[in-house]
Amino acid sequence: MIAAGVHSARARRALVTLATDDPAMAALSLWCAHRDVADGPAAQTQGNTILYGPEFEALAAHEQVGLAAHHVLHIALRHGARMGAMAARLGGSFDEALYGLAADALVNEALLAAGYGLPRPAVTLTGLLVAVGLAPGSDALAEWDVDRLYLRITGQGGGTSGAEQVPAGKTKAPSDAARAYAFEVGFNPDLMREIPDDANPEGAEQAAEWRQHVSRAMEGGRAAGRGIGVLGHRIADIPQPRTPWEQVLRRLLSRALLPGRVETHRRPARDWIAAEAHARATHAPTPTFRPAIRRTVDAPRVALAVDASGSIEGALLQRFLTEVCGIARRVAAEITLIAFDDGVRWQVRLDPSRWQGQIEALDWPRGGGTDFAPPLAAAQAMGASVALILTDLDGPFGPAPRGLPVIWATPEDAPSPPFGHVVSLAR
């Protein structure tokens, strides 16, 4: 039970210490609500409110400060809202516990780097990366944000953001290894609540406000030379305004699949009919015939070419196909799936009513080189309205296909190709 409208008495000492020792965290804590509850864990985040349970009072003073800072940082980085947005994007495949684990790892790594104490054992970014088979790198905080980390662990985002695989003894899937690590350190996934998109209509406005709060707080801490503000420029998880790749892809596909207009000589243009009637009535010369313009009614075709050279993992492929097929159904497009490496291995027209079963039954080639000219030629030969190519952009491109819009979807940021539009799937 929450003591509504009453500022937390349990956290008062910890918050006073924050105000004294860390200017940035002190400023951020003022934008959070702090409430005591009659039961529950030591501390828990719900939206912009931190709930402090009876167990909070049993912690050592430095642990109280660290735990309060931990939840303040969750709110400041908008992890609950970002969790809700990711859940809306991925639907039934979303794993709330793994997302919370990634968020906790980033927050704890930042706090430990800033000199805070935390109740042990605690999940850390370094520990999580090692557990899932990734080398932490020289500055993991600057390399990873929560969305990229979650997608990398689950295999739905592709790319490693510069981290390299650790070859020794890693046999589990990254998601299973992450769950084992969470169990080992006693991670509690219920300490942060997802904020659903449909329950947060002011999400964009709140995101902009929190970006301003975080920017000002970090600048103050940096000027003071102590606390979390000193690390502000190194924390990649500080949310920046960006458009998710699904929205970019949807916009590009919709634009490419707009119905066209063509001339038809089966009937004259309306203004010609009027001009011809006027000429006949006035015995004037008959105007030159002008054909009518009609909208094309043929279903547009999407050529979805997948690089099968081994660089695209199955989870990323499934996520991508789900999104593209959903888009195609909404715009009434016909999808032909093309598997290629240094040549086209097969192409299959997808049935909107059973595309998932079709994909599961396909035999995907693996290995080989990469050449983009064959799938682009196949897309032109079938009269595709747009070619969408899922690849890491490692291969020869050949000449730009005339009259065929090309969208390159890459699992990580890559150099610009000589033609087409690039969409990064890293976030």
Q: Are residues 71 and 154 in the same domain?
A: yes
For residue 2, what are its two tokens?
Answer: 């929450």
229 vs 328: CA distance, rounded Å? 46
401 vs 412: CA distance, rounded Å? 24
Task: Name the strands in the sheet holding 43-46, side by side, starting at the edge strand that comes first in the sequence.
Answer: 33-36, 49-52, 43-46
Residue 370, sorted as left (phi over 0), alpha (psi -120 to 50) or beta, turns out to be beta
For residue 355, what are its two tokens?
Answer: 């595309």
Inform me whether the pLDDT recorded for 213 exceeds 80: yes
Tens digit of each residue's pLDDT (9 = 90 or more) over 37-54: 998 889 988 888 999 999
Strand partners of residue 423? 409
Q: What is the mean pLDDT of residues 212-240?
A: 82
Tens digit of each residue's pLDDT (9 = 90 or more) over 269-305: 888 888 888 888 998 898 888 888 776 545 678 888 8
Closest to 74 (Cα-Cα) out of 56, 55, 51: 51
Look at residue 273 and give its three-state secondary structure.
helix
252 — pLDDT class (breaks 50, 70, 90)? low
Residues 6+ apart with CB under 8 A from 112: 118, 124
User: Is residue 247 one of the residues assigned to a domain?
Assistant: no
Tens digit of each residue's pLDDT (9 = 90 or more) over 336-368: 889 898 899 999 888 877 776 777 787 877 777
168 — pLDDT class (breaks 50, 70, 90)? very low
Inform me whether the pLDDT recorded for 377 exceeds 90: yes
User: Is residue 57 one of the residues assigned to a domain?
Assistant: yes
Longest CA pairwise span in the chain (Å): 103
Global pTM exceeds 0.85: no
Q: Which pLDDT does position 299 carry in this prediction?
A: 64
253 — pLDDT class (breaks 50, 70, 90)? low
Q: Which pLDDT does position 327 carry in this prediction?
A: 61
Q: Are residues 40 and 147 in the same domain?
A: yes
Q: Are residues 151 and 40 in the same domain?
A: yes
Say which range, 9-23, 97-111, 328-342, has the weakest mean pLDDT.
328-342
Q: Are residues 56 and 89 in the same domain?
A: yes
Cα of 320 vs its chain's centroid, Å: 12
Range of the domain at 201: 12-240
| Side chain identity, residue 206 | Q
Q: Are residues 110 and 211 in the same domain?
A: yes
Q: Are residues 271 and 306 in the same domain?
A: no
Q: Are residues 186 and 280 in the same domain?
A: no
Look at residue 293 and give its three-state secondary structure.
strand
- CA quadruple 89, 421, 324, 363: dihedral sign: negative
Asked whether 325 and 381 are in contact (CB, 8 A), the reply is no
Inform me whether the pLDDT recorded for 158 exceeds 60: no
Q: How far are the Cα atoms of 264, 302, 320 from residue 361, in angstroms, in the given order?
A: 43, 21, 17
2 vs 302: CA distance, rounded Å? 53
Q: Which pLDDT does position 373 carry in this prediction?
A: 93
Look at residue 100 and give its three-state secondary structure.
helix
Q: What is the mean pLDDT of residues 396-400?
A: 90
Q: CATH number of the domain that 414 lies in?
A: 3.40.50.410
Q: Are residues 58 and 149 in the same domain?
A: yes
Say which range, 8-17, 105-114, 136-145, 277-286, has the weakest mean pLDDT.
136-145
Q: Which pLDDT does position 167 carry in this prediction?
A: 43
Closest to 174 (Cα-Cα) out of 279, 239, 98: 98
Q: How far are the Cα atoms of 249, 395, 421, 422, 424 from residue 416, in angstroms, in the given order?
A: 16, 13, 8, 7, 11
176 vs 197: CA distance, rounded Å? 28
Q: Are residues 189 and 282 in the same domain?
A: no
Inform me whether the pLDDT recorded for 379 exceeds 70: yes
Q: Are residues 153 and 230 in the same domain?
A: yes
Asked whether 74 and 101 are in contact (CB, 8 A), the reply is no
Inform me whether the pLDDT recorded for 409 exceeds 80: yes
Q: Are residues 178 and 135 in the same domain?
A: yes
Q: What is the mean pLDDT of residues 81-99?
A: 83
DSSP conformational letter for 421: E
Q: Which pLDDT does position 248 carry in this prediction?
A: 65
Q: How far are the Cα atoms of 74, 272, 329, 396 from residue 347, in angstroms, in the given order?
A: 46, 46, 19, 21
- CA quadruple 87, 90, 95, 98: dihedral sign: negative
Q: Which pLDDT does position 415 carry in this prediction?
A: 72
